[in-house]
Structure 1
Amino acid sequence: MTAPTGAGRGAEPPVGRRSRHLVSISDLSDEDLYSVVARGARFAVGECDAPLAGRVVGAYFLKTSTRTRTAFTAAALRLGAGVIQYGPQDLQTNTGETSADTGRVLSGMLDVLVARTAGDPAELRAWAAQDRMSVVNAMSAEEHPTQALTDLTTLLRQFGRIERLRLLYVGEANNTATALALAITRFPGVELELRTPPGYALPAQVLDTATRQARACGASIVERHHMSDLPGDLDAIYTTRWQTTGTSKPDPHWRRVFAPFRVEQDLWRRSPNAVFLHDLPAHRGEEVTAEVLDGPASIAFQQAENKLYSAMAVLDWCQAPAGGPAR
């Protein structure tokens, strides 16, 4: 009996299509980075032609997720794909199957696997050791690449450009800050200043990479560990919650160290036109006051909505025709 054309996943991907992985922002070329961000902005204004019709997306989340899980599930459905959800106890990795074997099995059935491990990205890389199923990092301990793409999409929609924007990031240099630093320093003329608590700085390798990228395109990145002498005339001020999902802090008195880095209305004295960004969830009164989060400068909830459009762009890029960027 001859199988119908296109049935099953036993064969190689169709000619003209290749699976691409997003484990780190560094997996994107400059062209791909610019293209994915621009595509997200276009999805936000209604462009959608169901480019993933007939595809199947798996969503595997070991840690809690409101925005990212919902965004990628809704994105897959809006693009015409089917979705399979996996929880923390659903895969045989819990009974000893290796990540590499799991990846080989899933790649014969899925087109894309979106995974949040909040742990070592080595597991994601093991799943990505094949070219039939795309693997998307929906947050690991080291980096949150899809959040950075959401942030850039938000800035593009807000300002009509990313080039030459001036951004202040305040708080722990966590996986969100890492991805942001690796992404935004590839846009010409951007100025990124991070104010991070002592002992909670960007990893040295990340800062080195972001600095090299910035120099190559006329951008800049600076990190300081105090809240004095802040820059003015900022376009955006960004913070994240102090307790990153899936992590804990060894110092029992860490809140004392973080307290001076709370985002308050005073930060807008020298930058009255700056918008406020937050990747959410937020804890009012800790990393940001309610006055700021719920105030007129805040676009944090628009930023959350943009995660849907950015997720659509990521899935589209993962399954785009070989040799080309996201459409």
Structure 2
Amino acid sequence: MITHLRSLAQFSLEELSILIERAIVLKHEKQQGILHNVLEGKSIALIFEKPSTRTRVSFESAVYGLGGQALFLAGRDTQLSRSEPLKDTARVMSRYVDGMVVRTHGQEVIEELADYATVPVINALTDLHHPCQILSDLMTVLEKKGQLDKLKVAWIGDGNNMANSWLEAAAILGFELVLACPEGYHPNEKILKWAMERNDKILLQHSPEVAAENADVFNADVFSSMGDEGQEEERLKAFAGYQLNQALLEKGQPDAIVMHCLPAHRGEEITEEVLEGPQSVVFDEAENKMHMHKALLEALVGGHTAS
């Protein structure tokens, strides 16, 4: 099993499958009132340079649910905001806590912390990757559809960190992934090339209708993410026609599911009708973050090896 979570590209097919299946088991066991204590006596630092609701609460709940203690540190409250070298932070924190969950801007922050830390470092979001979210999404898809490799997944909108992590997931798991992104808003070129070399069912183009055709899973995300402040007007123009609405949804399979990592800007990237409609699984998806985070913490910090 991996020692840090930098991105999904680290996983083998077997590792990814085991982790997703374990998260589903943990969800069922929570519903049955079964308790776990693999983090008893252990503490996890949540270092967040970017604000969060779902990621913070789901990780804190996951830590407590495994018997551990979560220590939340906003970026402004740490020496990172005062330019302390990352390698120093990594080595000091490794002597205080048993793991670090980091939500930050640059992927290089995760990489350097992981290079110098002697405890697991988990990427809770960077501008380049969002592996924890996509793991939760994959768990949701498997729950709802019963499989992953034979599905068509449609990504409609920005080629952002979510799209990058979906590309890595498709490369490993082998499902069809069609991305509809406007010109100038494509996913990372290196990640796209890496993924396409491993899966010839990955397609990047500009038509939401092509992506939607016979899709089993629809994905949308906000047009302007954190860090895109000041670009809202420009982005609204660029993404005109990329809204996930009922007309687009009807081009997919009749039992297609709709996903969105939230928060959603209703009326922009997705309509109220679709988000609140019978094919939407966004709130199951949000819940599953907590169960997936448990599986990650259990494996990386708790030493659990599911099989």
* TM-score (norm. length: structure 1): 0.87
Q: Within the alignment, does 1:269 sit opposite 2:250 as a pair?
A: yes
> Does the C-alpha gap of structure 1 residues 20 and 245 become closer, same or farther in structure 2, counting only changes over 3 Å?
same
SS, match of residue 138 in structure 1: strand
Q: Which residue of 2 aligns with 1:13?
A: none
Q: 2: distance between equivalents of 1:292 and 1:276?
A: 8
2:13 to 16, 21, 30: 30
SS, match of residue 194 in structure 1: strand
CA contact 2:171–2:195 (8 Å) conserved in 1: yes
Q: Within the alignment, does 1:222 sit opposite 2:222 as a pair?
A: no
Paired residues in the alignment total 302
Q: Which residue of 2 aligns with 1:245?
A: 226
Q: Deviations over 1:99-142 (max 9, x none)?
A: 1001100001111100111x111122221124521101110011
Q: Which residue of 2 aligns with 1:207?
A: 192
Q: 2: distance between equivalents of 1:113 and 1:247?
A: 26
State the Cα distance separating 1:236 from its structure 2 match: 1.0
> Does the C-alpha gap of structure 1 residues 249 and 33 become closer, same or farther in structure 2, counting only changes over 3 Å?
farther
Q: Deviations over 1:125-171 (max 9, x none)?
A: 22112452110111001111111101111111111221201111100
Q: 1: distance between equivalents of 2:131 and 2:87?
A: 22
SS, match of residue 125 in structure 2: coil
2:78 to 87, 91, 94: 91
1:67 to 30, 34, 54: 54
Q: 2: distance between equivalents of 1:261 and 1:229?
A: 12
SS, match of residue 34 in structure 1: helix
Q: Which residue of 2 aligns with 1:114?
A: 101
State the Cα distance separating 1:287 from its structure 2 match: 0.2
After the TM superposition, which of the residue ranges 178-187 and 296-305 deviates more from structure 2? 178-187
Q: Which residue of 2 aligns with 1:20?
A: 3
Corresponding letter in the other structure for 2:73: Y
Q: Which residue of 1 aligns with 2:124?
A: 138
Corresponding letter in the other structure for 1:240: D
Q: 2: distance between equivalents of 1:249 and 1:212?
A: 36
Q: Which residue of 2 aligns with 1:42?
A: 25
CA contact 2:91–2:116 (8 Å) conserved in 1: yes
Runs of 4+ more than 6 Å apart: none
Q: 2: distance between equivalents of 1:208 and 1:19?
A: 23
SS, match of residue 154 in structure 2: strand
State the Cα distance separating 1:213 from its structure 2 match: 2.2
Q: Which residue of 1 aligns with 2:141?
A: 155
Corresponding letter in the other structure for 2:28: V
State the Cα distance separating 1:231 from its structure 2 match: 4.8
> Does the C-alpha gap of structure 1 residues 257 and 94 become closer, same or farther in structure 2, counting only changes over 3 Å?
closer
Corresponding letter in the other structure for 2:189: A
Q: 2: distance between equivalents of 1:80 and 1:157?
A: 26
SS, match of residue 185 in structure 1: helix
Q: Looking at CA atoms only, which structure, 1 or 2, has the larger radius of gyration?
A: 1
2:216 to 235, 246, 255: 235
Q: Which has the higher helix share?
A: 2
CA contact 2:12–2:172 (8 Å) conserved in 1: no
SS, match of residue 137 in structure 1: strand
State the Cα distance separating 1:247 from its structure 2 match: 2.9
State the Cα distance separating 1:88 from its structure 2 match: 2.1
After the TM superposition, which of the residue ranges 239-248 and 175-184 deviates more from structure 2? 239-248
1:307 to 283, 286, 289: 289
Q: 1: distance between equivalents of 2:232 and 2:103?
A: 26
> Does the C-alpha gap of structure 1 residues 100 and 19 become closer, same or farther in structure 2, counting only changes over 3 Å?
farther
Corresponding letter in the other structure for 1:177: A
Q: Which residue of 1 aligns with 2:279?
A: 297
CA contact 1:19–1:132 (8 Å) conserved in 2: no
Q: Gaps spanning 5+ residues in structure 2: where?
A: none
Q: Within the alignment, does 1:285 sit opposite 2:285 as a pair?
A: no
Q: Deviations over 1:51-93 (max 9, x none)?
A: 2212110111111111111111100100111111101222122
> Does the C-alpha gap of structure 1 residues 298 and 231 become closer, same or farther in structure 2, counting only changes over 3 Å?
closer
CA contact 1:56–1:112 (8 Å) conserved in 2: yes
After the TM superposition, which of the residue ranges 63-72 and 93-102 deviates more from structure 2? 93-102
Q: 1: distance between equivalents of 2:207 and 2:213?
A: 16
Q: Which residue of 2 aligns with 1:176?
A: 162
